[in-house]
Amino acid sequence: MSNGYDIIVIGGGHAGIEAAHAGAMMGCDVALITMDRFALGRMSCNPAIGGTAKGHLVREVDALGGIMAGTADHTGIQFRMLNRSKGPAVWSPRCQSDRKLYSEEAYRIISNSPNIEIVEESVVEILAAGGKVVGVSTASGKFINSSAVILSSGTFLNGKMHTGLVSTTGGRYGEKPSLGITESLSRLGFLSARLKTGTPPRLKKTTINWEILEEQAGDDSPQPFSYRTDKSVFPFLPQVSCFITHTDDSVHRVLEKGFDNSPMFTGLIKGVGPRYCPSIEDKIVRFSEKRQHQLFLEPEGLNSDQIYLNGFSTSLPANIQFEALRKIKGLENVEMVRPGYAVEYDYFPPHQVDLTLETKKIAGLYFAGQVNGTSGYEEAAAQGLVAGINAAAKIIGKRELVIRRNEAYIGVLIDDLVGKSTDEPYRMFTSRAEYRLLLRQDNADRRLLKYGYEYGLIDKAIYNELKEREIIISKAVNFCNDTKINANFINAHLNSRSLSEIDSTETISKLCKRPELGLSEVLKFVNTTEENRLFARALMENDLVLEQVEIELKYEGYLKRQDDMIKKLEKYESTSIPLTLNYQSIKALSAEGREKLNKIKPRSIGQSLRISGVTHSDIAVLLVYLKN
């Protein structure tokens, strides 16, 4: 086919570049269509990657062979592991990125990929025939054919930006909107709705009084996101700090003056915004008892003269924003480089996609990222990767990739989107994962590397290294369960730490379960045989293994309970339901259950269980019907 590709990816944001990269790695010819080739991987909002739960997603994307983690590692200017004072399951890596370098690195990776062609165009229509996608047409009048189309156009679909009562069309500051795609999809029977998100003003770095602000530095020994990043040369860039300030009453009073001209409060904005990322005006109204709000001053890059004011997202008139900024401690003489704004855009309520992210209506058409109602670079990247893998898998005849909730946050993300849909921008939180204790950032490779390898995104050598590590881990766990420490050796140490002594002997595992004792601390006292001493020493030097073994031993009871729950539900998760099941014909279903099942068309009984309105007896009825 001339002028044709295996896969067309519309949009080169965090979803689009993962999708294109994955498809290309799997051997497909990919066209990445973007309005601006230098906007690839552009960070539209805050210059940061990761954070609670999002950091988990980045690690998972990396284990599957995605590019976000490596890109963040190469362009990060501050790395922190959040929640370090808590248990390992909620540790989350986060970094501040150099916005410009991040985008350049993304462009370097994509443009170096031999199977990707970057096409600078604006898509105006997605074309389908006979229930299958056939390609797209562009603003310049071209038709481009393909077997698959991945729509990852972020906030650009009929994008509209608001600052005060002034609104301009566009998907991002200074960039044009994408027109026509929503309408073409509506004609194909898709449902669309509006969402809204916001961004804060950018400040001029040299006009801030840094001396009086509280500093927040990065970790002393920063850890990279990617398993594949060479730790010996990490971090790659000089590391910088963020700073903290607060709003106060005087700031709030200024902002209130702008409420009459707020596009939010006057009803100009119709889209639904995220509750977890409210604008500053929203915070003042909804939590009026709160006298101050915390703000973070985040550097935009090593050589950038701009500062991102995290926590001050707003769409109030620019003059009000400016006046309020100058009331904030440290910003008395600040210059505003550009005001904050809200952006409204079209999305497609995500119950319209399947767990593979292929749309249920049109074969070969995939949605990823904000078009599915999510927010966040990490959520977008995760979906782009899954959509890219599945689009390519279908073309090259591999099995589809559906990641379960008990395997990854990515599984939770997609299962939530498809099963619950969403009417506000969806963000990942650790509390969304019922198997949170198992889905840790430290074991993303153990959970997902096998899939990355299966689809050709991860090298065999890396996969083999993991397999060897798994053998050592299970040996080490057995070693700790079987090997006893003698009271003569360890009691003096326990005493010195004011911990209770042991009687005669105790296994390593049991000692390690004490909250105060670390595994390597206990291993020092292995003294039964020379062989055991050597094994213990080797284990103490193997950080990757040591960490996994320690977690497994320390939290054994809890981890087992989560494992048991997974086993209990396995039967439901593995009982699949054909997409073609005619729920209308099953009279025994409750009316609400029937309607919800028909809307969502779950793929498994497990998925049905999570749909609100589907009762237990509906599930029983389904089980009986599926048996027939």
Partner 1 sequence: MIHLEDTITAMATPNGVGAISIIRISGNKAIDVADSIFKGKMHITDANTHTVHYGKVVDAQNNFIDDVLLTIFKAPNSYTGEDVIEVSCHGNPLIGQKIIDLLLEKDVRIAEPGEFTMRAFLNNRIDLAQAEAVIDIITSRSDASLRGARNQLDGLLSNSVSILRNSLLDTLSFLELELDFSEEDVEFVAKDELLKKITLIIKKIDELLNSYRFGRVIRDGVNVAIIGKPNVGKSSLLNYLLKESRAIVSSTPGTTRDVIREEISIDGVLFKLFDTAGIRLSEDIIEKEGVRRSNEAIVNSDLVLFVNDVEQGYSEDLYDELRQLTKEDRIITVMNKIDLSSKSDLGDGIKISAKTGEGIDNLIDQMKQSTLGSANYSEKSAIVSNIRHFQCLCSARNSLSDAIVSVNQKYSGEFIAVDLRNAADFLGEIIGEVTSEDVLNNIFSKFCVGK
Binding footprint of partner 1 on the chain (CB under 8 A): 46, 51-53, 82-83, 85-87, 89-90, 246, 274-278, 283, 286-287, 290, 292-294, 296, 310-311, 313, 420, 429-432, 434, 436-437, 515, 555, 558, 561-562, 567-568, 571-572, 588, 590, 609, 612, 615-617, 619-621, 623-625, 627-628
- Smallest gap from Cβ 188 to partner 1, in A, equals 30
- Smallest gap from Cβ 250 to partner 1, in A, equals 18
Closer CB to partner 1, 82 or 203, in the complex? 82
Q: Are 314 and 284 in contact (CB under 8 A)?
A: no
Closer CB to partner 1, 144 or 307, in the complex? 307
Q: Are 324 and 255 in contact (CB under 8 A)?
A: yes
Closer CB to partner 1, 337 or 559, in the complex? 559
- Smallest gap from Cβ 62 to partner 1, in A, equals 22
Q: Which residues make Cβ contacts (< 8 Å) with residue 397, sequence separation at least 6? A: none
Which two structure tokens, joined as six digits, stand for 562?
A: 């989560």
Closer CB to partner 1, 502 or 623, in the complex? 623
Closer CB to partner 1, 590 or 598, in the complex? 590
- Smallest gap from Cβ 597 to partner 1, in A, equals 15
Shortest CA distance to 64 belongs to which of 72, 56, 75, 52? 56
Return phi, psi of residue 448, to 5°: -125, -15
- Smallest gap from Cβ 428 to partner 1, in A, equals 9
Distance, in Å, from the CA atom of 227 to the CA atom of 301, rounded to the nearest integer, reads 24
Q: Map residue 248 onto helix, strand or coil.
A: coil
Closer CB to partner 1, 76 or 311, in the complex? 311
Closer CB to partner 1, 483 or 608, in the complex? 608
The length of the chain is 628
How many C-beta atoms lie closer than 10 Å to residue 497's C-beta?
Answer: 9
- Smallest gap from Cβ 612 to partner 1, in A, equals 6
Closer CB to partner 1, 298 or 346, in the complex? 298
Closer CB to partner 1, 135 or 311, in the complex? 311
How many C-beta atoms lie closer than 10 Å to residue 179's C-beta?
Answer: 16
Q: What is the DSSP letter of 239?
A: -
Q: Are 171 and 343 in contact (CB under 8 A)?
A: yes
Q: Which residues make Cβ contacts (< 8 Å) with residue 66, sequence separation at least 6? A: 18, 21, 22, 381, 382, 385, 457
Q: What is the DSSP letter of 157?
A: B
How many C-beta atoms lie closer than 10 Å to residue 86's C-beta?
Answer: 10
Name the helix (H) or strand (E) containing 270.
Answer: none
- Smallest gap from Cβ 246 to partner 1, in A, equals 8
- Smallest gap from Cβ 52 to partner 1, in A, equals 5
Which two structure tokens, joined as six digits, stand for 424?
A: 């506000």
CA distances (Å), 471 to each of 63, 443, 540, in order?
Answer: 19, 15, 16
Distance, in Å, from the CA atom of 335 to the CA atom of 332, rounded to the nearest integer, reads 9
- Smallest gap from Cβ 342 to partner 1, in A, equals 14
